[in-house]
Amino acid sequence: MELYKIAASKLHGIGIQTIKQLHERIGSLNILFEEDISVLAKRYEVSKKRLIQMNRKHAIAEAQKQLEFNKKFSIQTLFFDDIKYPDLLKECSDAPITLYYKGNKQIQGRLVSVVGTRRASSYGKQMVEKLISSFENQEVIIISGLACGIDTFVHECCLKHNIQTIGVLGHGLNTIYPKINRNLAGKMTTNGGLLTEFGIDHQITKYSFPKRNRIIAGMSHATIVIESPKHGGAIITAEIANGYHREVMAVPGSVFSNSSEGCNELIKKNKAHLLENTADFFELMNWKKTSKNNESKIQLTQNESVIVNLLNREDGVHFDMLVALSKFSVSQLHELILSLELRQIIRALPGSIFKLDQHITQSDMV
Q: In the chain, helix, strand, coil percent, each to 5?
A: 45, 15, 40
| Of the candidates 29, 30, 225, 5, the residue with the CA atom closest to the CA atom of residue 127 | 225
Q: Is residue 187 domain-resident?
A: yes
pLDDT tens digits, the chain, 366 residues: what are they?
899 999 999 998 888 888 888 888 888 899 989 989 899 888 888 888 888 988 999 999 999 999 999 999 999 999 999 999 999 999 999 999 999 999 988 898 999 999 999 999 999 999 999 999 999 989 899 999 999 999 999 999 999 999 999 999 999 999 999 999 999 999 999 999 999 999 999 988 888 998 999 999 999 999 999 999 999 899 999 999 999 999 999 999 999 999 999 999 999 999 999 999 888 999 999 998 775 544 456 788 899 999 998 988 777 899 999 999 999 999 999 999 988 888 888 888 888 898 887 555 555 555
Other C-beta atoms lying within 10 Å of the C-beta of residue 290: 11
Same domain, 114 and 65: no
Q: Is residue 292 domain-resident?
A: no
Contacts of 332-336 with CB under 8 Å at 24 or more apart are 332/303, 333/307, 335/126, 336/303, 336/304, 336/307
Same domain, 37 and 146: no
Q: Is residue 44 domain-resident?
A: yes
Residue type, 275: L
Q: Is residue 100 domain-resident?
A: no
Domain count, the chain: 3
Cα 250 to Cα 260: distance, rounded to the nearest angstrom: 10
Provide the pLDDT for residue 28.
85
Same domain, 281 and 336: no
CATH number, position 251: 3.40.50.450
| Of the candidates 212, 250, 213, the residue with the CA atom closest to the CA atom of residue 230 | 250
Provide the pLDDT for residue 295.
45
Q: Is residue 121 domain-resident?
A: yes
How far does CA 100 lie from the centroid of its chain?
Answer: 17
Predicted TM-score (pTM) of this structure: 0.78
Provide the pLDDT for residue 360.
59
CATH number, position 356: 1.10.10.10
Are the C-beta atoms of 186 and 160 separated by less than 8 Å? no
Q: Which of 285, 317, 334 is the last residue of a domain?
A: 285
Q: Is residue 99 domain-resident?
A: no
Q: Is residue 329 domain-resident?
A: yes
Same domain, 148 and 271: yes
Same domain, 251 and 342: no
Same domain, 277 and 322: no
Same domain, 237 and 264: yes
**Which domain covers residue 2, as residue numbers?**
1-72
Dihedral of the alpha carbons of 58, 62, 65, 71, in degrees to the nearest 10: -110
Same domain, 276 and 310: no
Provide the pLDDT for residue 294.
42
Same domain, 16 and 121: no
Q: Which of 72, 100, 122 is the last residue of a domain?
A: 72
Report angle CA 174, 180, 183 to the nearest 5 degrees. 70
Same domain, 281 and 353: no
Are the C-beta atoms of 25 and 31 separated by less than 8 Å? no
Q: Which of 285, 316, 345 is the last residue of a domain?
A: 285
Q: Is residue 335 domain-resident?
A: yes
Same domain, 323 and 174: no
Same domain, 62 and 118: no
